[in-house]
A and B are shown apart, each in its own frame.
Chain A
Amino acid sequence: MASIRIPTPLRAYTGGASNIEVAGETVGEALVNLVEAHPDLRVHLFNDDELRSFVNIFIDDEDIRFMQGLDTEIAASDSLRIIPSIAGGGMIAWSLPGWK
């Protein structure tokens, strides 16, 4: 199984796990398996079945947008990374009801 590295901002939705092993022949299958195991992650990664535009998925150092996107085939030895969009530590102060 390939591994997916979960960035800090999304670990709240994986029970704190930072590296998760997932089955799947393609990036898309792996991500679907990931969000099925951690349903709270789904809305952060997908808009219906489309990957959200601000979500960057890399296989090793390569962006899947420049491979075959979600159809990119993966091997068990591959490391997938979700690259978060982060702005800084001084986040603005509003709460997010229903999003904890």
Chain B
Amino acid sequence: MEMMTSLHSRIADLNNEEVKRYSRHVIMPEVGIEGQRRLKASNVLLIGTGGLGSPLALYLAAAGIGRIGLVDYDVVDFSNLQRQVIHGVSTVGASKLDSAADRMLDLNPDIDVVKYNEPLTSENAERIFSEDWDIVIDGTDNFPTRYLVNDACVKLGIPNVYGSIFRFEGQLSVFYAESGPCYRCMFPEPPPPGLVPSCAEGGVLGILPGTIGTMQATEAIKLLLGIGEPMIGRMMLYDALEMSFQTIKVRKDPDCPVCGIDKADVVLIDYEQFCGMPAHDHSEFSSADESEELDIKTVTVHDVKSALENGDDVVVIDVRDPHEWDISVIDGTVKIPKPDIQLAKNGIQGGRRLWEETVLKEIPKDKTLYVHCRSGVRSADSIAYLSEVGYDLDKMFNVEGGILAWADEIDPEMPKY
């Protein structure tokens, strides 16, 4: 914990209308006219205009931060409105950047909003972060982007105001390697995907990003003004159900692979590979359609039926998505969606062996595998992925026609879709 001087000493002029707008700030000696001028000359970059980004963008615009950058590439979805209060029904379907920028400029037309309509990646992060930002605020919702934001901030010497939320819990810190620890000192590596809660187990109280996002905005203002005690070297843990706040110490790891080395040597890596999970909802892996190259053996649904009835030493795997399992299933199958197998393959190839004891735990390497999906395409891809991570292609069989063939030939009662 330490007192800070301001991150910069730039000053911008305020006109009379602005002095009036910011009068509740200006009359506080901790801000004053000088501090407000400094805020106007400040540049803050927000990663994400979602749950955390909404209050951040609104309050930082209202507070008179002169130049605010937004990085997002998503469009407003109706289901966002439970927590992303900068958007509205009138902007559903519109770009989040435009929706957020319009609202910010309506609130405060004296500021500049810089829009980056692209996902943050290892390729563009250095360019974007280098465009004169005093502070970066992490309002993302996934591990790969969090590690990317951290590493890029360390490399460029920019403080990273961190906030994260899950269900009813929130975390807040300032990771500023120039005078304290970074995100990796606390979380050297992400949990393996098998230990990350899935969508159904996730969720978030809509108000929670409001609580954490406004606290991030508070930390940003403190850093810019050089007042108070910033959350450098500390993390605040918030539990909305207990309504408890606890602060813990975060120490700099002298052996940290990122902030423990020369800044210039920090390399922005492939964070999806590092985390073994996609950074973005729209992320697609390049390895699709690999099955076309392979000679994959097939079996019929009759073979599947007799194997299951005779108790043959065969494992039948259903690689359809969970919502399809609700429509129809073949009894006795092991259910693992194709995207999980794909992620597991990527994870294992990235050196993360834990995938084998998690997602792939129920797919034995020494047994014959019959793999099915709806019609036979995804199951063939799944076999191709498995063959890349040590499964014997000669022991894997694609079920011709998938569960649709089963409905036609074995169980006419089964619904088709």
Interface contact B359-A96, CB-CB below 8 Å: yes
A61–B281 Cα gap in the complex (Å)? 35
Given A63-B248, A84-B166, A88-B140, A98 contacting B362 (CB threshold 8 A): yes
B188 at the interface (CB under 8 A from A): yes
Interface size class, chain B = 35 or more
A63–B354 Cα gap in the complex (Å)? 25
How many A-B pairs have beta carbons closer than 8 Å: the answer is 140
A24 at the interface (CB under 8 A from B): no
Interface residues of B in 50-99 (CB under 8 A from A): 50-52, 83
Interface contact B141-A44, CB-CB below 8 Å: no
Q: Which residue of A lies closest to B334 (CB)?
A: A97
Interface contact B248-A89, CB-CB below 8 Å: no
Interface residues of B in 321-359 (CB under 8 A from A): 322, 334-337, 339-340, 343, 354, 357-359
A91–B191 Cα gap in the complex (Å)? 13
A90–B237 Cα gap in the complex (Å)? 19
The one of A12, A44, A81, A86 that contacts B166, using a Cβ cutoff of 8 Å: A86
Q: Which residue of A lies closest to B140 (CB)?
A: A88
B contact residues around A18 at 8 Å (CB) = 242
A interface footprint on B118-142 (CB within 8 Å = 1, 0 otherwise): 0000000000000000000000111
A interface secondary structure, majority: loop
Interface contact A94-B362, CB-CB below 8 Å: no
B204 at the interface (CB under 8 A from A): yes
Given A53-B189, A90-B50, A95-B322, A8 contacting B141 (CB threshold 8 A): no
Q: Shortest distance in angstroms between A85's beta carbon and chain B's nearest beta carbon?
A: 5
Interface contact A88-B194, CB-CB below 8 Å: no
A interface footprint on B248-264 (CB within 8 Å = 1, 0 otherwise): 11110000000000000
Given A85-B190, A88-B141, A94 contacting B248 (CB threshold 8 A): no
B contact residues around A87 at 8 Å (CB) = 140-143, 146, 164, 166, 190, 196
B interface footprint on A43-67 (CB within 8 Å = 1, 0 otherwise): 1100100001110101001110010
Interface contact A86-B165, CB-CB below 8 Å: yes
A66–B277 Cα gap in the complex (Å)? 30
Given A83-B237, A93-B199, A63 contacting B249 (CB threshold 8 A): yes
A residues with a Cβ closer than 8 A to B are: 7-9, 12, 18, 43-44, 47, 52-54, 56, 58, 61-63, 66, 81, 83-99
| Further pairs besides A84-B166, A88-B140, A92-B278: 10, Cβ < 8 Å | A8-B167, A61-B247, A61-B249, A81-B248, A87-B190, A89-B203, A89-B209, A92-B142, A93-B198, A95-B198
8 nearest A-B residue pairs (beta carbon): A89-B204, A88-B141, A91-B202, A90-B141, A86-B166, A93-B199, A61-B248, A8-B167
27 contacts between A and B (CB under 8 A): A9-B197, A12-B197, A54-B191, A61-B247, A61-B249, A62-B248, A83-B237, A83-B248, A85-B187, A86-B166, A86-B169, A87-B142, A87-B143, A87-B166, A87-B190, A88-B166, A89-B166, A89-B202, A89-B203, A90-B204, A92-B199, A93-B281, A95-B198, A95-B340, A97-B359, A97-B362, A98-B358
